[in-house]
């Protein structure tokens, strides 16, 4: 199987050498920053983006970027934090409000996450990165706190959905913010942000272990007899996570000044502001940068003279965004399926993300219920043991993420090999969990699932953006993430109507096997190669 990219597959033209100063190809050659033209990208902006990349590379990795690593990572942490919080709380929420299908609380959260990812991802291109960056955690924190004070199941579900709407924007927005201020030599740090996801599981799991066993109705409480005053544990959990989310908002808004993305400003023709941002970031890092307003204007003049491309204004920029919605638009989408090989690759990526999107919440989001079920079968189904084991299992995800960073660099196996093997081993340990009969077996197999599945996530987050051409990377990765969460909407429905037994785990494990086999069929191997 051919493991290299073909120029015709990517619809690109090689850059020409020895061109006049001020053209895109000359700018792209600085510090070996290659920029190639792909149909669907505004050539003026493409040249100016290469100039911004040169400025960011000159500024280098400094205090500003490391601050963003922490603040953007905190956003990723909150994304996973609320999924784990709702997973831990939903059973006790259902007991208090005496509802037959508490899994719909998880469904409400996922629906909010899907809408939030779509809204904030697209909205950040219209209203800017900075406003989206600050609002997402504020909305999530406020509605998360309110969910803890809900007086009905429906009210709690609605508030959780709005919380998901806010926090759902963190993955697309924070990724864009971080990447657009990173020098090219340090873009690998975007992968390491996944470590924050693991931490985002550990924090609510630890809090749940502290709150839920001590402030919840007894397991043998008759239906309808669980009173609010006896069941404050899940409320304390949501209050704590809401306060933590608002703390992240406070750090972002009051203690750190996020500058608007220079590429966003440049794309609207706001060149003076673009240079002001680059100068401010350079000053913050104790450096200087060489780009001036005249450099951006010179690119416009060059392209206007040689290609008839009109200067960029804010009105033109907005029209270009909305032109993608017209018939014949969606150039970025069509480019991902421009050839048979690319179409095959993108289709497999979407299928893998979709299968994981359904398989992961079928297992992870209802793990406390499964642990309680198996713990009772093994002779210990206490709330304390359930949430203690849940914390231990989730803690195993942290080293899994770190190990993934080492494994994906191994020779011979490659990115898709690690991804395929991790998916299959995740399935194997899930099947083994259903056969466990002792407390040690139950805990051991679930720890193995947690460890291996986060190797899978690390490989997936690495391989997906690498295999998609850079100029269409946002569209491609956005499609994959959205499809992942849309498929995840089916998980609470399946769990609700088949019950908290082993059937959802069998479905999850089967999906992981199929996804693993599809990973081996991916036509491109990116290990040892620079991303397009």
Model pLDDT, residue 16: 31
* Largest pairwise CA distance in the chain: 81
| Separation between Cα atoms, residue 171 and residue 120, nearest integer Å | 10
Question: Domain 338-532 adopts which CATH fold?
Answer: Growth Hormone; Chain: A; (1.20.1250)
**Which residues on adjacent β-strands are paired with residue 13?**
37
Q: Using pLDDT thresholds of 50, 70 and 90, give the confidence band for residue 224.
A: confident
pLDDT reading at 369 higher than 90: no
Model pLDDT, residue 380: 55
- The continuous run of DSSP H or E covering 38 comes out as strand 37-38
pLDDT reading at 149 higher than 90: yes
Higher pLDDT, 505 or 348: 348
CA atoms within 13 A on the CB side of 28: 19
pLDDT reading at 325 higher than 60: no
Q: Is 414 left (phi over 0), alpha (psi -120 to 50) or beta?
A: left
**Which residues on adjacent β-strands are paired with residue 12?**
38
CA atoms within 13 A on the CB side of 7: 6
pLDDT reading at 315 higher than 70: no
Mean pLDDT of 34-44: 48
Model pLDDT, residue 157: 94
Mean pLDDT computed over every residue of the chain: 77
Are 464 and 480 spatial neighbours (Cβ–Cβ below 8 Å)?
yes
Model pLDDT, residue 90: 86
Mean pLDDT of 5-28: 34
Q: Using pLDDT thresholds of 50, 70 and 90, give the confidence band for residue 510.
A: very high
| Separation between Cα atoms, residue 76 and residue 197, nearest integer Å | 6
Span(s) in the chain for CATH 1.20.1250.20? 338-532
Query: Per mean pLDDT, which of 112-121, 181-190, 473-482 is the most reliable?
Result: 112-121
Q: Give 412-442 pLDDT, tens digit per residue.
A: 777 888 899 999 999 999 888 877 777 788 7
Q: What is the dihedral of CA 207, 135, 62, 457, to 10 degrees?
A: 50
Query: Per mean pLDDT, which of 158-172, 208-222, 312-326, 376-390 is the most reliable?
Result: 158-172
**pTM listed for this prediction:** 0.73
pLDDT reading at 20 higher than 50: no
Higher pLDDT, 355 or 380: 355
Higher pLDDT, 129 or 460: 460
pLDDT reading at 100 higher than 60: yes
Segment among 217-231, 375-389, 408-422, 470-484 with least mean pLDDT: 375-389
Reference 61, options 292, 286, 263, 290; nearest CA is: 286
pLDDT reading at 492 higher than 90: no
| Separation between Cα atoms, residue 374 and residue 502, nearest integer Å | 10
Higher pLDDT, 335 or 399: 399
Q: Using pLDDT thresholds of 50, 70 and 90, give the confidence band for residue 29.
A: very low
pLDDT reading at 355 higher than 60: yes
Model pLDDT, residue 230: 87
Mean pLDDT of 510-516: 94
Higher pLDDT, 472 or 433: 433
Model pLDDT, residue 375: 60
Q: Using pLDDT thresholds of 50, 70 and 90, give the confidence band for residue 176.
A: confident
Model pLDDT, residue 529: 54
The tokens for 222 are 């008759």
Query: Per mean pLDDT, which of 36-45, 239-248, 395-404 is the most reliable?
Result: 239-248
Q: Strand 12-13 to strand 37-38: parallel, antiparallel, or no bridges (unpaired)? A: antiparallel
With a CB cutoff of 8 Å and minimum separation 6, the contacts of 420 are 516, 517, 519, 520
Query: Per mean pLDDT, which of 166-170, 259-263, 392-396, 417-421 is the most reliable?
Result: 417-421
| Separation between Cα atoms, residue 433 and residue 448, nearest integer Å | 10
Model pLDDT, residue 115: 86
Q: State the first-to-last Cα distance of the chain, in angstroms, to the nearest integer.
A: 19
Are 43 and 304 spatial neighbours (Cβ–Cβ below 8 Å)?
no
| Separation between Cα atoms, residue 119 and residue 399, nearest integer Å | 33
pLDDT reading at 30 higher than 80: no
Model pLDDT, residue 368: 62
* CB burial string 67-105: b at 16+ within 10 A, e below: bbbebbbbbbbbbbbbbbbbbbbbbbbbbbbebeebbbb
Higher pLDDT, 422 or 193: 422
Share of the chain above pLDDT 70, in %: 75
């Amino acid at each position: 199987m051919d493991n290299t990219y073909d120029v015709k597959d990517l619809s690109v033209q090689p850059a020409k050498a020895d061109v006049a100063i001020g053209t895109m190809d000359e700018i792209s050659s600085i510090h070996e920053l290659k920029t190639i033209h792909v149909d669907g990208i505004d050539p003026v902006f493409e040249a100016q983006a290469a100039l911004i990349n040169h400025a960011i590379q000159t500024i280098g990795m400094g205090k500003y970027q490391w601050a963003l690593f922490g603040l953007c990572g905190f956003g990723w942490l909150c994304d996973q934090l609320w999924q784990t919080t709702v997973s831990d709380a939903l059973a006790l929420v259902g007991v208090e409000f005496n509802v037959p299908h508490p899994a719909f609380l998880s469904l409400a959260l996922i629906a909010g996450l899907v809408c939030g990812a779509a809204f904030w991802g697209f909205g950040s291109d219209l209203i800017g990165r900075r406003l989206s960056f600050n609002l997402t955690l504020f909305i999530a924190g406020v509605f998360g706190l309110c969910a803890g004070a809900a007086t009905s199941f429906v009210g709690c579900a609605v508030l959780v959905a709005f919380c998901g709407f806010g926090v759902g924007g963190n993955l697309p927005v924070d990724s864009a913010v971080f990447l657009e201020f990173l020098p090219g030599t340090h873009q690998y740090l975007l992968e390491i942000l996944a470590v924050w996801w693991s931490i985002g599981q550990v924090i609510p799991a630890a809090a749940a272990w502290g709150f839920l066993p001590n402030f919840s109705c007894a397991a043998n409480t008759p239906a309808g007899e669980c009173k609010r005053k006896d069941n404050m544990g899940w409320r304390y959990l949501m209050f704590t996570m809401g306060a933590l989310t608002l703390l992240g908002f406070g750090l972002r808004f009051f203690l750190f000044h996020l500058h608007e993305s220079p590429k966003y400003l440049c794309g609207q023709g706001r060149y003076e502001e673009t240079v002001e941002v680059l100068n401010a970031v350079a000053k913050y890092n104790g450096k200087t940068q060489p780009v001036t307003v005249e450099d951006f204007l010179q690119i416009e003049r060059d392209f206007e003279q040689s290609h008839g491309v009109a200067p960029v204004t804010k009105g033109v920029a907005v029209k270009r965004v909305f032109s993608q919605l017209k018939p014949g638009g969606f150039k970025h989408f069509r480019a991902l399926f421009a050839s048979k090989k690319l179409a095959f690759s993108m289709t497999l990526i979407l299928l893998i993300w979709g299968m994981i999107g359904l398989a992961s919440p079928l297992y992870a989001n209802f793990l406390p219920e499964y642990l309680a079920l198996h713990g009772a079968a093994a002779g210990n189904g206490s709330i304390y043991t359930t949430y203690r084991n849940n914390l231990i299992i989730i803690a195993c995800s942290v080293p899994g993420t770190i190990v993934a960073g080492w494994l994906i660099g191994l020779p011979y196996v490659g990115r898709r090999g690690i991804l395929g093997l991790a998916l299959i081993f995740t399935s194997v340990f899930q099947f083994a969990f259903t056969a466990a009969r002792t407390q040690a077996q139950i805990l051991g197999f679930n720890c193995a699932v947690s460890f291996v599945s986060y190797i899978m996530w690390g490989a997936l987050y690495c391989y997906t953006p690498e295999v998609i051409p850079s100029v269409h990377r946002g569209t491609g990765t956005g499609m994959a993430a959205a499809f992942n969460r849309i498929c995840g909407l089916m998980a609470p429905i399946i769990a609700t109507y088949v019950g908290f037994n082993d059937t959802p785990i069998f479905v999850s494990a089967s999906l992981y096997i199929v996804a693993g086999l599809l990973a081996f069929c991916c036509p491109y191997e990116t290990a040892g190669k620079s991303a397009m």
